[in-house]
Amino acid sequence: MKKIDIVILSNGPGELITWVRPVVQQLRQQANIDIRISVILSPCPHATGKEAAIALSYPEIDRVQPAEYFWRFLLRGKTAENWHWHPQGIVLFLGGDQFFTVAVGKRLGYRTVIYAEWDARWWRWIDKFGVMKSEVAAQVPPKYAEKFTVVGDLMAEVNSVISYQLASSGGTALTVISTSAIGRLEMQKFLFDPLKRGGFKPRFSVSSNLDLPTTEENIVEYIGLLPGSKPTKLSLGVPLTLAIAQHLHKIRPQTRFIIPVAPTLELSTLASFADSRKNPAVQKMGGVEAKLLIPPDCEIENPKLVTPTGLEVELITRTPAYDLLSQCRLCLTTVGANTAELGSLAIPMIVLLPTQQLDIMRAWDGLPGLLANLPGVGAAFAAGINWLVLRKGKLFAWPNIWAKQEIVPELVGKLTPEIVAELVLDFLSHPEKLVEMRDRLRSVRGQPGAAQKLAEIVLSLL
């Protein structure tokens, strides 16, 4: 049987989870020939160093080269482990710089495919493109149009992850009953309980935006907290979201909070940002501290961050936690890939960009990112760059960038827990606003089914 190499180029944890994972699953399902799937990671300013481990955890992938060896491979054509290559293969772009697809394809003598969300480049030298929307293809010269196929939104594939997680935990699909403009009633045949490691119990429950009679089954509501995964965001994001949660809990004691912990983040590290002795920013962001509580039986209960007032925030350590996030009425998140994932799940969100310490925001791409991270003078560059960027009034959340307008609130400035909590309370008290935000989030993305169609394009070139 003919043997074929499929080389996937990717970079960050978000791309690996939301793009690479569904595509490699489809490649394995559809291929009727012997394929070997390799992932070559390129440098990413948002990388955590554990991307190779994430990729290797997918059973469909045969081998992975970490990002630190990328430039040597690009220049010399040899991987760190001196991989063997079959004569025929495909290079598939799923994250990073699209130019790398051209370079690696030429280096290996393979045909090339790019998945393009918002813009397609290098169309003279790429064999095929799978694009999220027809508008992407409309930007290229007509003579290259035959290279383009609208496949839809790879981020929409996260719903298949939710379906799998529900099935594996004994849950069933959601039954949604639309009501009048007042709100939406969601009848669910499972009860989300983050106190249980499985996340769900096979009980009937009601999650509603309407004024229903107060019972044990409908009083609880969930809010997701996504403070980031890197120190620059966690130092402000953790104390700020904890202080917001504590303020909300005083007014709405039925509210429960979860933090989906990034797979690259240790619980002890997360907890350290809620300790004023280790994180001076705690006092600037509301002064709410918390301690890490590890339960006696981690198979039954999740770890928690517990504040002195008794507020408990569940720490969800399995990834991706889309099934749990989909149960949240609202999420509070920092900027970054989180906003893209929440947007694709159509989960209402408020995006927080506190500016209490401008010098610690250093996760910019390109030259600004390099200057902001220079030893010694990086803090000064970071403060200046961030001041200029914030003055321009640019959009930071991915859903807003996609829509070219603000469809989810972006709060930028010296944020206080009380001000943010007031906005959250307004949304919770006016569920029609959450419904509108959810609908607008759905409208800016492409159609589902992209992984299947993209795999078909790749295999059609063999």
Strand ranges of the sheet holding 291-293, from the earlier edge strand across to the other edge: 291-293, 304-306, 312-316, 255-260, 221-226, 330-333, 349-354, 410-413
Split at pLDDT 50, 70, 90, the class of 297 is confident
Q: Which pLDDT score, from 0 to 100, does residue 46 have?
A: 67
What is the mean predicted confidence (pLDDT) over 431-449? Answer: 89
What is the mean predicted confidence (pLDDT) over 321-340? Answer: 88
Whole-number Å distance between alpha carbons of 420 and 53: 36
Q: Is the pLDDT of residue 195 over 50?
A: no
Residue 451: exposure state from Cβ atoms within 10 A (0-12, 13-18, ≥19): buried
Q: Which pLDDT score, from 0 to 100, does residue 172 have?
A: 38
Split at pLDDT 50, 70, 90, the class of 203 is very low
Q: Which pLDDT score, from 0 to 100, does residue 301 have?
A: 86
Give the pLDDT confidence of 154-173 residue by residue, as tens digits.
877 765 555 444 444 444 33
Q: Which pLDDT score, from 0 to 100, does residue 257 have?
A: 97
Over the range 221-244, which residues count as b (16 or more CB within 10 Å of their CB) and which as e? Answer: bbbbbbbbbbebbbbbbbbbbbbb
- Percent pLDDT > 70 in the chain is 77
Whole-structure pTM over 0.75, yes or no?
no
Where are any strands of DSSP class E within 74-126?
89-93, 111-116
Q: Is the pLDDT of residue 185 over 80?
A: no
Q: Which residues contact 237 (CB under 8 A, 6 or more apart)?
A: 226, 227, 228, 273, 334, 352, 354
Q: Is the pLDDT of residue 21 over 70?
A: yes
Q: What is the DSSP string of 19-39?
A: IIHHHHHHHHHH--SEEEEEE
Q: Is the pLDDT of residue 217 over 70?
A: no
Split at pLDDT 50, 70, 90, the class of 333 is very high
Most confident listed range (20-34, 155-169, 183-197, 208-222): 20-34
Q: Is 389 helix (H, G, I), strand (E, B) or coil?
A: helix
Q: Is 254 helix (H, G, I), strand (E, B) or coil?
A: coil
Q: Is 109 left (phi over 0), alpha (psi -120 to 50) or beta?
A: left
